[in-house]
Chains A and B, each alone.
Chain A
Amino acid sequence: MQKPLNMQKNGSNFSNRSLESKLEELPHPHRLAFAASCCERAFPNYVVFSQQAHWGGPATLRASLNTVWDFIEDSSGALADLAELVQKAQAATPDLDDFSTSEVDLQAAAAQEAAFMVRLLLQFCQDNQLSYAMRITTFARDTIDMYVQTIEKLDPADPELDREIAQHPLMVEEIGKQEDDLLRLTQIKTRAGFQDFRRHATNPERSNIGLIPNQQQS
């Protein structure tokens, strides 16, 4: 059962300030793990887009995510090839003007935001600024916001739009998972704990908008 939601005017349904203050209390590897978990729930959106559009590089983003998880598990080690990973992720980010037909535009936007999230995550490895994590969570909510508006055929000018989106099961589920991740992370003290969290976070059953990639092609 989800806790009552704290409604925000901008559509965010749990206070950014509350999330930020909770993340502030965590060390860098824990913050990274939180952000990486958000990215893992967005990554299947990229895979689905790539399968439908026959464009992109899911393996590139997967490699970036794996590198970050390895870094989280052993942050004493150097992060190799970060610049190269950022460059490859940039090249694998779709331009929405190239995928504007109604068959694929929704998936392209979700994939673009997943790629943005991974690029931010890579930068967050190198630069422990909380704003990276906050931007990653914003992109996660943006994707859900767009998807919910579209599948529920919501009126974009409806004054109640933000409230309706905040109460949608997909948004409630994502916020719940973020809160659950934060709780789990506060209890992690060892490398084994991070390994366990990684297993929990990677390969989610479905994406943050409920998409499931075709297993044969992924």
Chain B
Amino acid sequence: MLTTAVADVINSDGTRERLVGSSRRTLNPAQRASLQPGEVPVAGPGHAEITVLNAAKVRGQVVMALASSRPICAQCRKAIELADAKAIEHAKERQ
């Protein structure tokens, strides 16, 4: 029903951040309140995975790995592969 995706990214200066996006256009207040230092909320349309990939592109960041709260669909998986990032699979899907 609602998907959250996180992407570990590297900035051009070598520092690391974690982008957090949702299948909703934006994170809700509870999600924002639970963000940890180094976690950056991002917004945008589309699947949560696409939102974080797009945000990383706009911010000039390299995506190292991306994880999602739900199984990743084929289109998102392809987008992650094109970004040369590692898709972290949903635990149930790995079994």
A residues sitting closer than 8 Å to B (CB atoms) are 9-12, 93, 95-97, 100-102, 105-106, 109, 112, 138, 141-142, 145-146, 149-150, 156-157, 161-162
User: Beyond A11-B32, A105-B25, is A96–B1 a contact (Cβ under 8 Å)?
Assistant: yes
- A156 near B43: Cβ-Cβ < 8 Å: yes
- A96 near B43: Cβ-Cβ < 8 Å: no
- B1 near A150: Cβ-Cβ < 8 Å: no
For B42, give the chain A residue with the smallest CB separation: A156
Prevailing SS type, chain B contact patch: loop
Least CB distance, B18 to chain A, in whole angstroms? 12
Residues of B with C-beta under 8 A to A145? 26, 28-29
Residues of B with C-beta under 8 A to A149? 25-26, 43
Q: Kindly supply a per-residue 1/0 record for chain B positions 55-95, scoring 1 wherever the CB is within 8 Å of any chain A CB and 0 otherwise.
A: 00000000000000010010000000000000000000000
Prevailing SS type, chain A contact patch: helix
Residues of A with C-beta under 8 A to B23? 96-97, 100
- B29 near A96: Cβ-Cβ < 8 Å: no
- B47 near A156: Cβ-Cβ < 8 Å: no
B residues sitting closer than 8 Å to A (CB atoms) are 1-3, 23-30, 32-33, 40-43, 45-47, 50, 70, 73
Of B1, B26, B40, B50, which contacts A112 at CB under 8 A?
A: B1
Residues of B with C-beta under 8 A to A100? 23, 45-47, 50
Of B24, B30, B47, which contacts A146 at CB under 8 A?
A: B24
Least CB distance, B84 to chain A, in whole angstroms? 23
Taking A96-B1, A96-B3, A150-B25 as known contacts, 8 extra A-B pairs with beta carbons closer than 8 A to each other, sorted by chain A number, are A11-B33, A100-B46, A109-B25, A142-B30, A149-B25, A157-B40, A157-B42, A162-B32
Q: In the complex, what distance in Å separates the CA atom of A100 from the CA atom of B73?
A: 13
Residues of A with C-beta under 8 A to B73? 97
Residues of A with C-beta under 8 A to B26? 145-146, 149-150, 156
- B45 near A10: Cβ-Cβ < 8 Å: no
Most chain-A CB neighbours within 10 Å: which of B2, B26, B41?
B26
Residues of A with C-beta under 8 A to B41? 156-157
Residues of A with C-beta under 8 A to B43? 149-150, 156
Residues of B with C-beta under 8 A to A9? 33
Q: In the complex, what distance in Å separates the CA atom of A10 from the CA atom of B33?
A: 6
Of B24, B32, B40, B46, which contacts A102 at CB under 8 A?
A: B46
Of B3, B32, B33, B40, which contacts A97 at CB under 8 A?
A: B3
Q: In the complex, what distance in Å separates the CA atom of A145 from the CA atom of B21?
A: 15
Q: In the complex, what distance in Å separates the CA atom of A95 from the CA atom of B2?
A: 7
Least CB distance, A131 to chain B, in whole angstroms? 14
For B40, give the chain A residue with the smallest CB separation: A157
Q: In the complex, what distance in Å separates the CA atom of A141 from the CA atom of B29?
A: 9
Residues of B with C-beta under 8 A to A157? 40-42
Least CB distance, B65 to chain A, in whole angstroms? 21
